[in-house]
A = this chain, B = another copy of it.
């Protein structure tokens, strides 16, 4: 990464849940307040009268260092008294809500009912948790991911949590996408970006909802900054979650090359795992093959650094291309 980018560059990450939050943490470690994470809210749902934003919370908890290290979601040192009591009363217990986590949902819901925006509430919560980077919900209006399966259409959390991703996926839809718009804050962050990084989240379930927000793709391309994506799959297997299973069910070859093609037209570069180096030839944009597994904070920071360096390199290449084009004209 150039000293220039390290000192002043502003970056945007597009993130879903756990995998995306891990890379976001590495990026936050390097960039601090120069990082904006645009987070999927297609997973949001009303449950027990509460507005729950699972991916936003995973981003906040991860960047705040309070995430449960065993699961990657929820809070560390959590207690489960509420959930046990609710179960005892015959209430719905399929979506696990820790006692401390519950406070986040209650406070979010309270503020939304009071007229605040999801963007505003998220900023408040992130600030209370001491997060320096900016976390932005992808949009304000409700966009809801629906999964058409062999067992009918399921809301995202029904598919993902209640049914544990068991039903076979036929299609994925984004209810409300037409009415959803990127917020002013999202548009401003993209406009100011020196690089945009699509985190290693599930492309179909976690990144596509972000891209489905009307005007989001155009805003990303209009930003003019290099856009790169990091593969969430190694040797045809998802690092976490149902990515490979879903690709198979959608009739796609589970692998990094398929994912790079899925992002065709959006990305300028693609990072795949060292194990998949041989696939680079099948990918229509410049690639880097490095270790993409993120166990430790060092892993996350190293991958984040590679992302920033890749963006910088893509800018330089583009500059050279433009110079060459100018010389030829």
Binding site for B on A (CB under 8 A): 48-50, 75, 78-79, 81-86, 88-92, 98-104, 106-107, 109-110, 113, 124-125, 128
Contacts and interface: CB of A to CB of B under 8 A. Distances in A.
B100 A85 contact: yes
10 contacts: A48-B110, A49-B106, A49-B109, A82-B100, A82-B103, A85-B102, A86-B106, A90-B107, A99-B99, A99-B102
Given A79-B81, A82-B99, A99-B79, A89 B104 contact: yes
Q: Which of A49, A75, A78, A83 has the most CB of B within 10 A?
A: A49
Contacts of A99: 79, 81-82, 85, 99, 102
Given A49-B109, A81-B78, A81-B81, A103 B128 contact: no
A47 to B, nearest CB: 9
Given A85-B99, A99-B81, A102-B102, A90 B128 contact: yes
Given A110-B91, A113-B49, A124-B90, A103 B79 contact: no
Chain copies in the assembly? 2
Most buried by B among A82, A92, A101, A109: A82
A33 to B, nearest CB: 21
Nearest to A100: B85
Nearest to A108: B89
B85 A48 contact: no
Contacts of A88: 103, 128
A84 B48 CA distance: 21
A100 B78 contact: no
Contact of A91 (B89, B103, B113): B103
Among A89, A104, A110, A125, find the residue whose CB has the most chain B CB atoms closer than 10 A.
A89
A85 B76 CA distance: 12
A266 to B, nearest CB: 36
B79 A48 contact: no
A91 B48 CA distance: 19
A119 B117 CA distance: 36
Given A82-B82, A86-B106, 18 more contacts: A48-B109, A49-B110, A75-B85, A79-B79, A79-B99, A81-B81, A81-B100, A82-B99, A82-B100, A82-B102, A82-B103, A82-B106, A85-B100, A86-B103, A89-B107, A90-B124, A91-B103, A92-B110
